[in-house]
Amino acid sequence: MLIKRSEDIPSSDITPESTYLNRRKFIAGFGLGGALGSSMIRSQFDSAKVLEDEFSRTQKDWSRVRSDLDEELNSYEDVTTYNNFYEFGTGKDDPAKNSHTLKPHPWNIEVDGLCAKRGTYGLEEFIKPRNMEDRVYRLRCVEAWSMVIPWYGFSLKEVIDWAEPLGSARYIEFTSLYNLEQMPMQRSFVLEWPYVEGLRLDEARHPLTILVTGVYGRELPNQNGAPLRLIVPWKYGFKGIKSIVKIRFTETQPLNTWQQSTPREYGFYANVNPGVDHPRWSQARERRLGELRKRPTLMFNGYGEQVANLYSGMDLRLNF
């Protein structure tokens, strides 16, 4: 596996990130308590022990955390200032400047379609029973930049198993928030709103596919898709839908926003593939943010050993 969990470090190596901790973060952090039941979480809410545990997670020396491919992490600044989030503008620096209007708490997630657990759930309720972990993944965007990022989240499979999809369900569709006050750029016609993405159920169940609530030991910043976003590390970044408000199980393949917008350029699968160029540029090389020289792009973003079998027998030139 290419997943690498974060390393623990001596308490002497303390970074100043503690300043970002606040009560709201603690509430979210407790909710992510893995095996803890909800009543236990509540009863421990004010206990110093839980505060300490959550605190220590933010105190890692992130500069020492690398992926198994021995790639350096991009800085917190890279990750949070060079973004795509068209609801807040099309410039890479727009989301960091404009996304303060997004209100990620309180937040509801609707579960819909072909499953037993249809309904609307508060975010805490939705993520509380899940097994949260730090995981280092590459993000590779179609426009040929890449980053290595320590995300915090849980396997989407956990949600799927809990939701009990019916036998007829073959896909899962995700929808982002549609709210003109919080996302004023949705008044523009740059894309169809709300932003929609989808995965085949076997892709969605793959252990590398995660729902993310944090990055670099902190709560997910608005510009990165607070409070809940998807990461599918072997696919182009546009599959990583942000600020999710709905998941829906379907029999038919969802129409994702970019495919709807420009079907010649963006497909449903969007597997990173250096052999298939975007009609307007090559996908063979990429620039890691912070580096000058480009590097060759790896098939499936380097995760081929784990995911290639999902596509055996498929023509990946046609299914781009």
Question: In the complex, which residues of this chain contact ligand MTE (CB under 6 A)?
Answer: 83-87, 139, 141, 176, 195, 224, 237-238, 240-243
Nearer to ligand MTE, 41 or 199 (CB): 199
Taking the complex as a whole, the smallest distance from the CB of residue 74 to ligand MTE amounts, in Å, to 10
For the chain, what is the total number of helices (H) and then of strands (E)?
10, 12
Q: Which amino acid is at 190?
A: V
Nearer to ligand MTE, 79 or 160 (CB): 79
Nearer to ligand MTE, 109 or 241 (CB): 241
Taking the complex as a whole, the smallest distance from the CB of residue 139 to ligand MTE amounts, in Å, to 5
For 46-132, list the strands marked E by DSSP.
Answer: 108-113, 119-122
Burial class (CB in 10 A: 0-12, 13-18, 19+), 227: buried
Are residues 63 and 22 in contact, defined by beta-carbon separation less than 8 angstroms? Answer: no
At a CB cut-off of 8 Å and minimum separation 6, what does 196 contact? 173, 174, 175, 176, 241, 254, 255, 256, 257, 260
Taking the complex as a whole, the smallest distance from the CB of residue 109 to ligand MTE amounts, in Å, to 14
Taking the complex as a whole, the smallest distance from the CB of residue 236 to ligand MTE amounts, in Å, to 7
Q: Which amino acid is at 166?
A: L
Reference 301, options 209, 202, 170, 195; nearest CA is 209
Are residues 13 and 78 in contact, defined by beta-carbon separation less than 8 angstroms? Answer: no
Nearer to ligand MTE, 167 or 279 (CB): 279
Six token digits for residue 76: 């917190």
Residue 219, helix vs strand vs coil: strand
State which residue has the least CB distance to ligand MTE.
237
Nearer to ligand MTE, 132 or 142 (CB): 142
Cα–Cα distances in Å, from 160 out to 18, 34, 203?
A: 34, 16, 12
Nearer to ligand MTE, 59 or 84 (CB): 84
Nearer to ligand MTE, 237 or 254 (CB): 237
